[in-house]
Structure 1
Amino acid sequence: MPPSLIIIDDFLANPDVARAAALKLAYDPATKHGNYPGILSDRPLTIPGLEAQVSTLAGMPLVPAPGTNHAQCRVTMKGDRGQTGVHIDPAAYSGILYLTKPEHCAGGTDFFRHKRTGLDRVPMDMPGIRAAGYGDINRLIEDVVNRDTNRRSAWEKLFTIPMRYNRLLLFSPWLFHDAAPGFGTDPETARLVMLMFFAHAPATAETPGGGVP
């Protein structure tokens, strides 16, 4: 099992190159889909060796999670709202690379405890699920996450991982979390992040090689 939280500062040797490439991607409001605030890029940002480096940090082989927005970037400006709030991710491991310039950085990623159940994450095994009062994981997710996602009074914020330019945050997707509010008035000044969603690599697959530039 990978660590619940990993923070790597100065992750890329050339973050300005990655940021410039991220800003060159298309962010068209007409293509917006999903429950998140802000606008996703039209395609992923390519960082050679990313999966291999994250696999090393997590201590287990990981690959892009199918059906997710892995490696796409997201721009969130002041006033942007999503349809959901506190949530979990459909992945085995999650990551956020902050690409906002230092002079514009604000907020970060918030983590929460659910007040009614006392949980700060979805339990990882059946004993934990039963101890929380549920017979199966889907019922827990429906009653806790889906029911209370937008009810901020149902949650206690535990901590914030502050945004920092070129900081990589890796974390368990089962932790209850949400992005801090957006800011700025255009992609240059807005919250700009690269999203990562990983799945466990198949037992027969070779871990991709290469390093992060």
Structure 2
Amino acid sequence: MSFAIRMPPDVQSLSIGGHQVLLIDDFLEDPGALVQAACDSVFEPCPGAAEGKGYPGIRAAAPAAYSQELAALLDPLIKINYGIDESLPLRKTPCMFSLTTLAPEQLGPLQRLPHFDSSAPRYMAALLYLCDGRHGGTGFYRHKATGLQRIAADDKDRFAAAIRDELDRRPPPRRYFDAGDEHFEFLGMLPAKFNRLVVYAGALLHTACVNPQLSISDDPRQGRLTVNTFVDF
């Protein structure tokens, strides 16, 4: 199978809450090949899901050929757009297929809130949607009590203490987070679109906006199928 990236990529730079995010539509020449690879894969529960933490679903390793194509693109793409020193080496996690499978009533308290992936300053998320706009997107938020949108290393303890206090006073309802609430201001969303790649800083507060009537499925052709990758420099 070929997992070639369509060249040249049509890179769009957007601002959400004053922070830059990147978007590339029609990313792969043949996205159907990657969907088929997902159908042929063996998915397993995400670590921590049983304890109500982490990604609320199942994952499987994406093909190495896709991972190699993506890494070759992300290195210059991120360095150019985010002003990262060209001499810094790219470090990348494995590319993982992800399917949302937990019903809202199964979510743990932390799975019902926006989160950040890492407080490292150059840690970036690259998310490929292999599902359409009916499956929501990726929402971004500001935490009202602390004013934080991006969690730097020096912010982690203050943010965690504020979240613990809010959870102790009133746990969030059993639902997938989306439009904001009394604690988090909704700043904007990158909508899902089939064959769309989005890139954003892992330190930004964000969450998967999920359509529970449609997206809770372990079928790669029917569910909220994405490919998740993280890089650092």
TM-score range (shorter-chain normalised) is 0.7 to 0.9
Higher relative contact order (CA 8 A, sep 6+): 1
TM-score, reference length from structure 1: 0.73
> Which aligned pairs between 1:34-73 and structure 2 lie closer than 5 A?
34=48, 35-41=54-60, 43-46=61-64, 47=66, 48-59=68-79, 60=84, 61-65=89-93, 70-73=94-97
Once the two structures are TM-superposed, the CA of residue 189 in structure 1 deviates from its matched residue by 0.8
Once the two structures are TM-superposed, the CA of residue 52 in structure 1 deviates from its matched residue by 1.6
Pick the structure with more helix per residue.
2
C-alpha separation in 2, matches of 1:8 and 1:197? 17
Once the two structures are TM-superposed, the CA of residue 138 in structure 1 deviates from its matched residue by 3.5
**Partner of residue 137, structure 1:** 155
Q: SS at 2:128's partner residue?
A: strand
**Partner of residue 206, structure 1:** none
Call closer, same or farther: CA 1:21–1:145 in 2, change over 3 Å.
farther
TM-score, reference length from structure 2: 0.67
Letter of the 2:47 partner, please give it.
H
Call closer, same or farther: CA 1:145–1:93 in 2, change over 3 Å.
farther
8 Å CA contact 2:103, 2:216 repeated in 1 = no
Letter of the 1:87 partner, please give it.
H
> Which aligned pairs between 1:30-179 and structure 2 lie closer than 5 A?
31-34=45-48, 35-41=54-60, 43-46=61-64, 47=66, 48-59=68-79, 60=84, 61-65=89-93, 70-77=94-101, 79=103, 81-83=106-108, 84=110, 85-90=113-118, 92-100=123-131, 102=132, 105-123=134-152, 136-144=154-162, 151=172, 152-179=181-208
Q: 1:19 aligns with which of 20, 27, 35?
A: 35
* Structure 2 segments unaligned to the other structure (5+ residues): 1-18, 49-53, 173-180
* Structure 1 segments unaligned to the other structure (5+ residues): 125-135, 201-213
Call closer, same or farther: CA 1:145–1:44 in 2, change over 3 Å.
farther
**Partner of residue 194, structure 1:** 227
8 Å CA contact 1:114, 1:144 repeated in 2 = no
8 Å CA contact 1:36, 1:82 repeated in 2 = no
C-alpha separation in 1, matches of 2:183 and 2:96? 30
**Partner of residue 10, structure 2:** none
8 Å CA contact 1:51, 1:63 repeated in 2 = no
Call closer, same or farther: CA 1:71–1:62 in 2, change over 3 Å.
same
Equivalences, count = 179
Deviations 1:41-61 (A, max 9, x none): 1x3433032112011211255
C-alpha separation in 2, matches of 1:146 and 1:52? 40
Aligned-residue CA RMSD (Å): 2.7
C-alpha separation in 1, matches of 2:142 and 2:195? 27
Q: 2:25 aligns with which of 9, 30, 35?
A: 9
